[in-house]
Chains A and B, each alone.
Chain A
Amino acid sequence: MSLILCRQEPVTSPYYIEELSIHIYSSQELAYVIYHHPLLVMEEFVDGRLAEFIRAELRMPFLAERIEKWIDGRGVSDELLFLILQETSYYTPQEQARYRQLVANLRKISVDEYLKRRADYFYGLGLYGKAISMYEKILESAKEKHLSGEFKSKIWNNIASCYSKLFCYQKAMYAYDCAWNEKSEKVYLKRMYFLKLMEPELELKERFKELIAKEDTSAWDVEAQGIIDEATGAGAVVKLSQLFEKDPLKRIAGAGELVNEWKGQYRKMM
């Protein structure tokens, strides 16, 4: 139990982290991002722009200089992340040690697994476009080296999931098809079936139709109906219905705001 004293950091131009869509206003927030988002910061995070922010806004010129010198002399390294954590004094030495261990463990895993974890991390952030390109890179590298069918099927599944989130159902269907080709798991059939429910114009291949039993479709229909019912009562849907109950002027203004919000969210996903 303690109180951590905050430095005087009158930040006027905050540091924008695009992936998280947030501005950073203090050294503690910077340390927090580093600590909680290792897969984000382990690549291309510490750079000249960050060093300049540390110097000019966080008023830590010595740290900024050390970072710049390190980058000039030895290139970007995880050590820079540890250095920032140490200098900001937001995390205890024990917490810093745990973080070191975590980063070291991530560095030890295979390149493909590491790339998949990064892509999964971006998927978790809702950056589906970025995640897709990372998954595709893994698949491209598979042409030169052997990757297990199971691993590749997982990658295709995740790509399909990304496309679904982006409302690109055709591409999602294709990705599930590929996932099935790598490893024939029933769950892919179910997902393809759900895609067809969402987008009736989609065609489910004959070979898949033959593999789906009648009792499966009955159970999946029930499940899908449950999801639809749940979604109907969701806050966002209720809010939308309420908006359309308002008088025309308010409705148009509200709808405009909402559409802009959705556009922003979609752009971020892409």
Chain B
Amino acid sequence: MEKLIIGIDLCDTYTQVSVLGREDVWSLPTVICRKKTVEEWCVGEEAYKYTLVGEGVIVDKLLSLALKDGTSTIAQVKYDGATLLRKYLEKVLDMVRAEYPGIPVAQIVFALKNMEIKLMDELMGCAEYLGISREHVHIASHTECFVYYVLSQRRDVWGGQVGMFALSDEDLRYYELKIARGPRQVTAIAEHQELEEGFSLNVLDTASGAKMADKILCACSDRMMQKKLYSSVFLTGKGFARTDWAAEFMKKVCNRRRVFVEPMLFAKGAALKAEDYLHERTSYPFVCICEGKLKSTVAMEVVKHDTKVQMALAVAGESWYEARSVLEVILDDQDEIELMILPYHDPKQKRIVKIPLEGFPKRPNKTTRIRIAAGFLDEKTMVVKIVDRGFGELFPKSNVEIRQEVMV
């Protein structure tokens, strides 16, 4: 192995780390412990060990802590959530590096249950702190990792509809993937639903609890799958590490369907996505519409070589977190910017958003150059920043700029 390609499924209760080319996946609770007497840190099961013998103080729910700017005081030292998350990921990576000494990290993809910009920014900051360049770090939703994992399988596995149940201590979710083959491109449309019937996995320790859990899953499968045709069904999460407790559910779901159990699916999907970044041409030539991806294209009409063309600021299927674009245009008898929002599902439902250039200096026609920069705060909120660039030394720039949020 020359380079490490890593997928990390990072949740509040557990973390799974997959290295491409390695069959086993590390799985550990998302907890960190600091020894009371010295500033030494340990994570996962080891953290529990030190805590139980009274030598350390443990902190759990690290993602929530970082998200709400929480702090934890250990041995009279106050640590903020972001610092603890950094230390946790440092230890996790040390664990991987210990097995692959001297091998550099080529790509990391973090798989997250919820794509929250604050957490994503924290993770990018963590990567920088760990000496991994930002361009080698990406973040994907669980749904997207599910898509990558499924589409890396044989074609007959995903030829039609694919369903998946994910059962963990945190929740019970149902995922669905459909492949739409268009004349120009293939689109993978995936979505998930959080099921209210989620339960703690502790109930599986007793026979009655297991029976009840089995019944819950049967009811869920009846409701979600109905009589739909599936090419395959996947079961993932710690809850499906063993399936002997869910005899009825397995019978139901396996009826005339292929069922795959892969408890570490998100981490593996993340590693597959990480590998794809290393290729010049993608191994997954499809547009992925799912959580964490843009569902609309945002474009503007510009004149290029005397011809009107549409210039995309963001394209449906792009990761909203990574979607950023900058372009410069010259105003030709125009005092506003017109953005076209084209939903992927129905481009005919085009929406126009106009941003008036209020406060911009009055200059002769065609002597105002503006820089338009676009980025996203979340899947539906685009931030557009328009800056006056003047026209060289002929008409010097002002400091005027406009920042507007656009719902896409």
Contacts and interface: CB of A to CB of B under 8 A. Distances in A.
Interface of A: 1-6, 14, 22-26, 28-29, 32-33, 89-90, 92-93
B180 interface: no
A44 B309 CA distance: 37
B329 interface: yes
A4 B332 contact: yes
B195 interface: no
A34 B330 CA distance: 17
Interface of B: 300-306, 308-309, 311, 327-334, 337, 366-367, 369, 391-394
A6 B328 contact: yes
A6 B330 contact: yes
B394 A29 contact: yes
A93 B393 CA distance: 26
B329 A23 contact: no
B333 A1 contact: yes
A131 B303 CA distance: 40
A93 to B, nearest CB: 7
9 contacts: A2-B302, A2-B308, A3-B302, A3-B332, A5-B311, A5-B328, A6-B329, A24-B392, A90-B330
A46 B300 CA distance: 35
A212 B337 CA distance: 63
B392 A4 contact: no
A23 B393 CA distance: 6
B306 A29 contact: no
Contacts of A14: 392
Contacts, number: 70
Given A28-B391, A90-B366, A3 B301 contact: yes
B329 A29 contact: no
Nearest to B309: A5
8 closest A-B pairs by CB: A3-B329, A6-B328, A5-B302, A22-B393, A4-B330, A29-B392, A25-B392, A5-B304
Contact of B369 (A6, A22, A93): A6
Contacts of B311: 5
Nearest to B391: A29
Contacts of A6: 327-330, 369
A14 B328 CA distance: 18
Contacts of B332: 1-4
Nearest to B311: A5
A3 B392 CA distance: 18
Nearest to A89: B305
A3 B394 contact: no
A3, A23, A28, A90, most chain B CB atoms within 10 A: A3
A28 B333 contact: no
Nearest to A11: B392
B308 A89 contact: no
Contacts of B309: 5
B300 A3 contact: yes
A92 B332 CA distance: 11
A5 B309 CA distance: 10
Nearest to A28: B330
B400 to A, nearest CB: 17
Contact of A3 (B305, B306, B334, B391): B334
Given A5-B329, A89-B305, A28 B369 contact: yes
A180 B341 CA distance: 71
A26 B395 CA distance: 13
B307 to A, nearest CB: 9
B306 A92 contact: yes
Contact of B306 (A1, A26, A32, A93): A93
B303 A5 contact: yes
A256 to B, nearest CB: 24
A91 to B, nearest CB: 8
Contacts of B330: 3-4, 6, 28, 90
Contacts of A25: 392-393
Given A32-B366, A90-B330, 14 more contacts: A2-B302, A3-B329, A3-B331, A4-B302, A4-B332, A5-B302, A5-B311, A5-B327, A5-B328, A6-B369, A22-B393, A26-B392, A28-B369, A89-B303
A14 B391 CA distance: 13
Contacts of A5: 302-304, 309, 311, 327-329
A33 B311 CA distance: 28
A235 to B, nearest CB: 18
A26 B329 CA distance: 12
